[in-house]
Amino acid sequence: MALNIFWFIPTFGDSQYIGGKTGARAIDFNYAKQIAVAADNLGFDGVLIPTGRLCEDPWVVASSLIGATQNLKFLVALRPGLLQPALAARMTATLDRFSNGRVALNLVAGGDKTELEGDGLYQKPEERYQAAAEFVDLWRDILKSSYEKKLLILMENFIKLQMQNFYILLFKHQLHLYFLEDHLMKQEN
């Protein structure tokens, strides 16, 4: 089994120590590009692009770095509840195709209560994890149904949708999705 080594793009700014102010440097496109190109040239498999109230948007950052890299994968942090599954599926498929299959998603259901509420997410942790599981199920169904070109009607606890004749195709008909749910859930409670 191969080991995949990822670096990260510090979309909240960078410093000598994580979370510290020593040697702090603001993030801008040129610095993000410099890190991505270096990670690509050094042979890293990919980079995590985080999400959070102090971070630049991970979808925009990943999109902007596609042309600057050749092999680097983009592990885009996705917080269910901020996007509807259909929009997230469309964005994922577009980024996946435009990057020639170099996208993976990091599902982030947990987080700081103040930060989550600042984004409009007021669910209790257990509800948020249930909604995240529902989101992933719907997101996968949307991507699968796009290939099958069938009517999709989904009604769940948190999300309802009806779709037909839509075009949301992935580059290689598969996508990697990473979770840190159990660890985060234990930290939050």
Q: List the end-to-end C-alpha distance of the chain, in Å, as a whole number.
A: 34
User: In the predicted model, is pLDDT for residue 104 greater than 50?
Assistant: yes
Cβ atoms of 148 and 163 closer than 8 Å: no
Helix (H) or strand (E) holding 85: helix 85-98
**Residue partners of 24: CB distance under 8 A and separation at least 6:** 13, 14, 15
pLDDT of residue 183: 39
What sign does the CA torsion over 67, 73, 74, 78 have?
positive
pLDDT of residue 100: 92
User: In the predicted model, is pLDDT for residue 80 greater than 90?
Assistant: no
Cβ atoms of 45 and 5 closer than 8 Å: yes
**Residue partners of 28: CB distance under 8 A and separation at least 6:** none
User: In the predicted model, is pLDDT for residue 185 greater than 50?
Assistant: no
Q: What number is the average pLDDT over the span 67-79?
A: 95
Q: What number is the average pLDDT over the span 38-49?
A: 97
Higher pLDDT, 77 or 138: 77
pLDDT of residue 99: 94
pLDDT of residue 184: 40
Pairing state between β 160-163 and 152-155? antiparallel
Helix axes 85-98, 125-148, angle to 10 degrees: 60
**124-161 pLDDT tens trace:** 998 888 888 888 888 887 777 776 666 566 666 666 66
User: In the predicted model, is pLDDT for residue 166 greater than 70?
Assistant: no
Mean pLDDT highest for which of 76-80, 81-85, 147-151, 164-168? 76-80
Q: Output the pTM of the full model.
A: 0.82
User: In the predicted model, is pLDDT for residue 10 greater than 70?
Assistant: yes
Higher pLDDT, 17 or 67: 67
